[in-house]
């Protein structure tokens, strides 16, 4: 690109402002629906970029997955190509979940970078782990009583 911006990971990223440079900003995966398992917990991770050459205020991304929503905001741009990683956890409430990431800013920003977007299932703790925890506490108490 002609602006001197670099991706947080790899060679490419998405600028949610494009050449528009004022709200409403663009989005990624808007109305994108993915297959999910009801009751499973998911983690959506992404990198949010800003640059002190183009902006003086924080930028953000509004993330929505099904009925869950949150807005993530960068720090005030201190240097060139400043990237921060954010995680958004949600529990699927249906077999299909709509996900969107929409650029947000309080003032007219020239750059809202989005990169390295990934979605993963967060595994549930195993039954063995849940049973071992209390068992180890009982063993420790028994050893203390035995020494006394």
pLDDT tens string, the chain, 148 residues long: the values are 677 888 998 888 988 886 665 565 555 545 688 999 999 999 999 999 998 888 888 889 999 999 999 999 998 888 888 999 999 999 999 999 999 998 887 777 778 899 999 999 998 876 445 555 665 565 566 566 656 5
At 144 the pLDDT is 62
- Asked whether 109 and 54 are in contact (CB, 8 A), the reply is yes
Buried b (16+ CB within 10 A) or exposed e, 59-86: bbbbbbbbebeeebbbeebeeebbbeeb
pLDDT at 72: 96
From CA 17, how far away is CA 7, in angstroms rounded? Answer: 15
């Amino acid at each position: 690109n002609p602006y001197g911006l670099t991706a947080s990971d790899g060679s490419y990223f998405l600028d949610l402002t494009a050449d528009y440079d004022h709200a409403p900003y663009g989005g990624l995966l808007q109305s994108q629906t993915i297959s999910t398992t009801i009751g499973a917990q998911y983690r959506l991770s992404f990198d949010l970029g800003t640059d002190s050459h183009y902006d003086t205020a924080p930028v953000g991304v509004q993330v929505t997955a099904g009925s869950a929503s949150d807005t993530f905001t960068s720090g005030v741009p201190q240097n060139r190509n400043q990237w921060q990683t954010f995680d958004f956890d949600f529990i699927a409430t249906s077999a299909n979940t709509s996900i969107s990431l929409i650029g947000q800013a309080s003032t007219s920003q020239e750059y809202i970078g989005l990169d390295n977007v990934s979605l993963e299932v967060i595994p549930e703790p195993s039954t063995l782990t849940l049973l071992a925890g209390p068992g180890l506490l009982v063993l420790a108490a028994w050893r203390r009583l035995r020494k006394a």
